[in-house]
Amino acid sequence: MSDELTVEVVYAMPHLQRLKQITVPPGTTVQQAIERSGILQDFPEIDLTKNKVGVFGKLSRLDAPLNDRDRVEIYRPLIADPKEVRRRRAEAIGRRKSEG
């Protein structure tokens, strides 16, 4: 059994995605893996006090310990509120139906 864990740290922008596979000691947290990956230097706009993070699509805390083969994901802030976008879309459909 290895003394190291293999984890991936990923961050995606509309035009660019970055995946870094790193090895870390057991007990490494989400934040420690992000910092160790070097991704914060590649994307200085990432602010761990504001950006949400997750493991395999499930929101996670920065102090959560990682398991072997985990994928740490750094999420970009939403540009628009999904509820507001759906409401506007429904209103536009309603207007088209009443006009037609």
The first and second tokens of residue 48, run together, are 């761990």
Please give the torsion angle defined by the CA atoms of residues 40, 19, 33 and 38, in that order, rounded to the nearest 10 degrees.
Answer: -30
The first and second tokens of residue 39, run together, are 């991704």
Phi first, then psi: what are they for 63, rounded to 5°? Answer: -95, 10
Q: Which residues contact 17 (CB under 8 A, 6 or more apart)?
A: 10, 11
Residues of the chain under the 50 pLDDT cut: none
Q: What is the pTM of this model?
A: 0.77
pLDDT at 14: 87
Whether 65 contacts 27, CB under 8 Å = yes
